[in-house]
Amino acid sequence: MRVTLEISDFDEMKKLLSLFQSMKLENIEIISPQNNANPNIRKGNKSINPKELFGIWKENPKDIEDIRAKSWDRKK
- Which pLDDT tens digit goes with each residue over 12-38? 888 888 888 888 877 777 777 666 667
DSSP, collapsed to helix, strand or coil, labels residue 44 as: coil
Q: What is the pLDDT of residue 2?
A: 76
Q: Give the residue, 1 or 14, on which the prediction is more confident.
A: 14
Q: Count Cα neighbours of 69 within 13 Å in the Cβ-side half-sphere.
A: 5
Q: What is the pLDDT of residue 45?
A: 82
* Closest to 20 measured CA to CA, from 7, 37, 33, 8: 7
User: In whole angstroms, what separates CA 18 from the centre of its chain?
Assistant: 34
Chain mean pLDDT for the chain:
78
Where does the pLDDT of residue 67 fall: very low under 50, low under 70, confident under 90, or very high at 90 and above?
confident
Q: What is the pLDDT of residue 35?
A: 64
